[in-house]
Structure 1
Amino acid sequence: MYYEKDVARGVEGTFMWLMEEVGELSSALRGNDRENLAEEFADVIAWLATIANVAEIDLNAALVAKYGHGCPGCRRLVCECPDSEKP
């Protein structure tokens, strides 16, 4: 939708927009407005996908490669990693 503007802004500039949206999501998480919260989640995902596009990363392929077989740690669809591990 905004590819030309995004490419002109570059990865670094687009990352700064993402960080602004993460800040807005943080504020929305502390509030009680579910509609605003949903909008901020959508904004964060949109800007994350934008950075992937500008960086020429196939986000879908990256997600499938990492999580397509379940948890990357234990390889189960429902994570069974010990609580001390990252997932």
Structure 2
Amino acid sequence: MELAELAKKISEKYGEIDRKSGPLFLLSVFFEEAGELAEAVRKKDAESIEEELADNLFMILSLANYFNVDVERKLIEKYIENDPSGRWDLPS
């Protein structure tokens, strides 16, 4: 399943709830999920990391749907067609 197709299915199933909840609520849930992912990474708990990554992706797609943006297209444009890694401050 392509990311755009997944986003569409999420919109069909949860879009009405998301519109009622509003963008600040969706963003706050995303921040909560990001914190849970950080805790799972800290513990190096692969099962929890998988769960939290799924929750984070769900919230990202919910926000993308709310704002009607094509996050799949932007990911391809930004990270596949281009390469921003030269601007990353990575240790040598």
Once residues 60 and 32 of structure 1 are traced to their aligned partners in structure 2, the CA distance between those partners, rounded to angstroms, is: 28
Please, which runs of 5 or more residues in structure 2 have no aligned partner?
1-12
Query: Is it true that 1:86 corresponds to 2:85 in the alignment?
Result: no
TM-score, normalised relative to structure 1: 0.77
Aligned residues: percent identity?
31
| Matching of residues 1-87 of structure 1 within 5 Å | 1-72=13-84, 79=85, 81=86, 85-86=87-88
Deviation string, structure 1 residues 17-62 (Cα, Å, up to 9, x no partner): 0000001001101114211111001111110111010011111122
Count of residues in correspondence between the two structures: 77
Structure (1 or 2) with the larger CA radius of gyration: 1
* Secondary structure of 1:56 counterpart: coil
- Moved runs in structure 1, 4+ residues, more than 3 A? none
Identify unmatched segments of 5+ residues in structure 1: 73-78
The structure with the largest helix share of the pair is: 2
Whole-angstrom distance in 2 between the partners of 1:9 and 1:57: 18
Higher relative contact order (CA 8 A, sep 6+): 2
